[in-house]
Amino acid sequence: KRLILVGPPGSGKGTQSPIIKDEYCLCHLATGDMLRAAVASKTPLGIKAKEAMEKLDEMLEKRGVKVDKVLNFAIDDAILEERITGRWIHPSSGRSYHTKFAPPKVPGADDVMSSIFFASDEPDFISSLVKVTGEPLIQRKDDTAAVLKSRLEAFHKQTEPDLSSRKQVSGHYFSYARANWALMLRPFWATGTCPLVVVIEYYSKKGIVANLPAEKPPQEVTSEVKKALS
């Protein structure tokens, strides 16, 4: 099965992905405003990212572009700052942790972990964390309240465009309606912007979009995901 996960940064896509990855072939179209900014500015990361996006495009096209479900992580912006600023990532696996909501599990030492996390201004924070978990965690440079603000602006612009941009989007939508949707998206991806609204609208009409209550605790979101996929 193929799924698309849609949601603002911090809505829990990365957290839920590994849980459903075992059961489903996961096609992850993230919002990646950072990535698109890099693409637009033609930095080395941007060039790499563009290649990756083109590969994704190609891959979906080759496989016949059949998507079974779109999981829309619905969440209020106000909740996201705390999630994003407390996020710590294990780079090699991509797993997300959180100082408050998802501290790494150390058997019998949860309280110790919390106190280490909250002392994160300490210069030896990372090394002490490695000692406890055996895994170095990093914070994304763009996981700050200030950058989140612009990432959210970009997300809303792409998912809920105003009337003028919507007109333009609709033009593409209708003119490409008979082609597959990867073709439909190509003109946008070529410019480094991905019109999520087109994707969501397209799949909404097919009746395969599930809106998830992403503000709930992780386990509850997981059971909603499973419900949507059953």
Residues that bind ligand ADP (CB under 6 A): 7, 9-15, 28, 30-35, 45, 49, 83, 86-87, 96-98, 101-102, 151, 217-218, 221
- The 3-state DSSP class for residue 88 equals strand
Q: Which residue is nearest to ligand ADP (CB)?
A: 32
Q: How far apart are CA 98 and CA 143, in angstroms?
A: 12
Nearer to ligand ADP, 62 or 141 (CB): 141
Nearest distance in Å: CB 230, ligand ADP: 20
| Cβ neighbours of residue 48 closer than 8 Å, sequence gap 6 or more | none
CA neighbours closer than 13 Å in the CB half-sphere of residue 215: 9
The residue with tokens 């059953």 is 230
Nearest distance in Å: CB 174, ligand ADP: 28
Nearer to ligand ADP, 83 or 176 (CB): 83
Nearest distance in Å: CB 10, ligand ADP: 4
Nearest distance in Å: CB 217, ligand ADP: 5
Backbone angles phi, psi at 97, to 5 degrees: -120, 170
Nearest distance in Å: CB 57, ligand ADP: 13
Backbone angles phi, psi at 215, to 5 degrees: -85, -10
Q: How far apart are CA 29 and CA 209, in angstroms?
A: 14
Nearer to ligand ADP, 97 or 181 (CB): 97
Nearer to ligand ADP, 110 or 167 (CB): 110
Nearest distance in Å: CB 92, ligand ADP: 13
Nearer to ligand ADP, 39 or 198 (CB): 39
Nearer to ligand ADP, 102 or 208 (CB): 102
C-alpha distances in Å from residue 19, one per residue of 26, 102, 127, 225: 11, 15, 29, 10
| Cβ neighbours of residue 8 closer than 8 Å, sequence gap 6 or more | 31, 73, 75, 77, 80, 151, 152, 155, 156
Nearer to ligand ADP, 103 or 161 (CB): 103
Nearest distance in Å: CB 200, ligand ADP: 15
Q: How far apart are CA 30 and CA 35, in angstroms?
A: 10
